[in-house]
Structure 1
């Protein structure tokens, strides 16, 4: 899958609104997670980088086919050993599926280095899902 346009501005704006540090649009094919577009404070994550899906927080989004959020992953004993947590100590996370022809073909996610004070509320989740719907219309199979 590829994006037909950039989402740099809406990713940055929603990252600011949510109080998160990293925004990622990904493609998921089989068990491979590929970053399509990213807004992050460092170049550790860049477009084209691939990870095993199971090594990402987004695996739960794909598995459950719904929006997932965590306010403080470090407080969840089972998540402390997660590859993302051990590598980056990301505490806050919200992710939602990207759909193409009724199939999950990727995710939109926002992560923060600190816990989400007050948690992600229904309005936060709605904003993430609305942007995901917009992104889904701009995805197309690679030629």
Structure 2
């Protein structure tokens, strides 16, 4: 049994954000996949309960998702957005228990197309992780 936590990140262009996610996941001995796609960035990590709490806090509270590449906050960013909402830059999609781990280590994959991103998850028989995050991104873009 492993715990899984699944995020959708709006903008992963800041290299310091990628560094923080990768470093913390490796330090916490987590496994998972980060699919970097222009429309939808998906972070899926597996680990124990203490690891999940620390990683969730990192993603939803400690990383300032609206910071630009030089540490400045973008003018269009909503600073009053509640943490974990879609306006904050990172959204918790799903959190729960899985029977087995699907990943060996934390990997970052640049995905030029939606099909390539889905294929990365399909290789591990968990393409529904991509489908869930991508469908919520599409629904959110239609509502806005």
Larger radius of gyration: 2
Same fold (TM over 0.5): no
Q: TM-score under structure 1 normalisation? A: 0.37
Give the number of the structure with larger relative contact order, counting CA–CA contacts within 8 Å between residues 6 or more apart.
2
> Where is the strand percentage greater, Structure 1 or Structure 2?
1
> Where is the helix percentage greater, Structure 1 or Structure 2?
2
